[in-house]
Structure 1
Amino acid sequence: MSIAFIEIPWRERTVRVEHEFLQPATGVAADAPLLVFLHEGLGSRSMWRDFPQRLCDAVGLPGLVYSRPGYGRSTPRAADERWGLDFMHRQADEVLPALLDALDVSRPVWLFGHSDGGSIALLHAAHHPTRVAGAVVLAPHILVEEFGLVSIRQARTAYETTDLRSRLARHHDDVDSAFWGWNDIWLHPDFPGWTIEAELPAIACPLLAVQGVDDPYGTLEQIRGIARARPSRPGAPTELLELPACGHDPQRDQPAALIAAVTAFIGRHR
C-alpha cells in the first residue's frame, strides 16, 4: 500500500489528509481518468477495505482513496468545531478541489461516492462540471427522509450502548470526531429541510445512481428523484440500478453485481 498524507488549507487552518493512490493490475494508459472514492458519513480510507482496488482492477483505471478531514487518519475536528448544515457542500466545493489541486490532479476525474460521499460527488459534479468526466453514486442522499432518520437515531443509541464505538475506533484516530460530526448534523432539528434536488440539473456528465432495495438509511426515492431532477441528455445519461437483497452498502452486500454494473457503465461512457 502507498498510504500518504498531504496538507491542504481548510476552515482557516491547515489540515492533513490521509490518501492512497491505486493502480490497476493491468496498468493504465497515460491519459486514463482518475477514479476518486468518496466514503460514507462514518467511513474512512480503510473502511472501504479492498473494494477500491477490486474496482480499479475491473475498470482498468487508477484510483484515489482518501479520508475526509474529521475521519480516518486525517486531521480530526477541533474540540470546539461544529459543522454546519452545509457540511457536504463544503466538502464538495472546498476540500475536494483543494485536495485534487494539492495532488496535481488536473485531468477530469470519475467520482465514486457512497452515502454522504455520494451526495458530495453529486454536488461536486454539479458545481465543477469541467472537472468531472462521470459519477457513480451509491445510496446517495438528495433529501432527508424520516425513514432514514430513524436509523440514524438508532446508530446514536448503538454508539452509546454497544461495541459500535470500539469497532469504529479501528478506523479513526479520533472516533468521537467522526461519529458526532456526522450524527449531530443529521439529527439537528433544522436538517430535515436539507435538499440538493435543485442543484442536480447542473450535472453535465454520465451518472449512475445505485440503491439497495433494503437500505435502512434511504428509500428508492433517493435515486428515482435524481432521475427526475436530472434526466438523461445526449452524451450524459442518467442510469439507475436498484439492487435486491442489498442494504446501505452495495460494495459489501452485492460487490460482484456492483462491479459488473460499474465496469459496463464506465466502459460505455469513458
Structure 2
Amino acid sequence: MIEEVIDVKGKNLFVKFNNSLKNKPTIVFLHDSLGSIQLWRDFPEKLAEATQCNVLLYDRLGYGKSFPMTTHERENNYMELEADVLNDLLSELNINETILFGHSDGGTIASIAAAKYSEKIKAVICEAGHIFVEEITIKGVKEAFNTYNTTNLPERLKKYHGDKVDMIVKAWTEIWLSEKFRTWNVEYLLKNITSPLLFIQGENDEYGSLNQVEKTVSQVGGDAEKFIIPNVGHTPHKDSPEIVLNKSIEFINSIISSI
C-alpha cells in the first residue's frame, strides 16, 4: 500500500492506496464524522482482497494524518463540498472506475458523489448514511457531545487525530445541532444516482431511523437494495464485521461481473 500526503486543490490529504490490479475497480472508503483511515481497522483490506479490487482510503481535511481544517465553521452543504473533494482526489490519482463504501457522513458523501459524478462511480455501499435531519440524529449527536465532555473520549480520539480533535468535534456538533441545519435535505439528488446502491443499516442505529433507508432506496435512479442487520447500532462494519463483509463481497462481485 502506498501512503502519502497529496495536495488536492490546496487541501493536503493523507491517502493510502493500492492500484496494482489492472482492469479492476477501486473501492474507496469514506469515514464517518469522527473517523479516519486507522479507524477502519482491517475491514478495507479484507474486502479488497476478497473481491480482488484496488483500494483507496483517505483522511478528509482536518482528520487523521491530513492537514488541519482552517475553521470549524461549516455551511449546510459541507457534505456536498466533500463529494467535490472526492472527485478532485480521484482525478488527481487518475482513478476512473470506483465503488464507494461510506459510513455515516461518509455514506452521505458517497451517495452525493454518485449523484454528481456518475461517470466515475460504478456502485455505492452506503452504511448508516443520512439524507435529511431527524430528531433521533440530533439526540445522538447531543449524547456523543456529552460523552466527549465527560469521559476520556478526547484522549482516545487523539490517538487518531492528534491535536485536531477539538476542531473536528466542534465542526461536527455545531452544524448538526444548529437551527439552520434542520432544513438540510439531499433527497433531490437521489434520482441522479444511476449506479447500483446497497444501503446497510443497523436496526438499532442511534443516529438514524430506517426511514433514511426506505426513502433512499425508493428514490434512487438505479437499482437499490437495503440490508438491515438486527440488534446492531450505528457501526455495523465494527459490530458485525463478518455479516457486513460477506454482504459487501456479494454485492461487489455482482458489480464486477457486469462491468
Shorter-chain TM-score tier? over 0.9
Cα pair 1:211 1:242 within 8 Å, conserved: yes
Partner of 1:16 in structure 2?
12
What aligned pairs does 1:11-50 form with structure 2 within 5 A after superposition?
A: 14-22=10-18, 28=21, 30-50=22-42
What aligned pairs does 1:67-216 form with structure 2 within 5 A after superposition?
A: 67-78=59-70, 80-93=71-84, 95-105=85-95, 107-173=96-162, 174-216=164-206
Cα pair 2:194 2:220 within 8 Å, conserved: no
Q: Does 1:249 align with 2:235?
A: yes
Partner of 1:58 in structure 2?
50
Q: RMSD of the TM alignment (CA)?
A: 1.4
- Say which SS state the counterpart of residue 125 (structure 2) adopts: strand
Cα pair 1:136 1:207 within 8 Å, conserved: yes
Structure-1 separation of matches of 2:171 and 2:26? 28
Structure-1 separation of matches of 2:172 and 2:62? 9
Q: Which amino acid aligns with 2:244?
A: L
- Say which SS state the counterpart of residue 250 (structure 2) adopts: helix
Partner of 2:211 in structure 1?
221
Deviations 1:49-89 (A, max 9, x none): 111111111211110000000111111112x4522111000
1:161, CA displacement in angstroms?
Answer: 1.6
Q: Which amino acid aligns with 1:198?
A: Y
| TM-score using structure 1 length | 0.91
Cα pair 1:71 1:177 within 8 Å, conserved: no
Cα pair 2:194 2:223 within 8 Å, conserved: no
Cα pair 2:115 2:192 within 8 Å, conserved: yes
Cα pair 1:208 1:240 within 8 Å, conserved: yes
Q: Does 1:266 align with 2:255?
A: no
Identity of aligned residues (%): 35
> How many residues get paired?
255
Structure 2: any 5+ residue segments left out of the alignment? none
- Say which SS state the counterpart of residue 161 (structure 2) adopts: coil
Structure 1 residue runs of 4 or more that deviate by more than 3 Å after TM superposition: none
Structure-1 separation of matches of 2:129 and 2:245? 17
| TM-score using structure 2 length | 0.94
Structure 1: any 5+ residue segments left out of the alignment? none
Structure-1 separation of matches of 2:105 and 2:180? 17
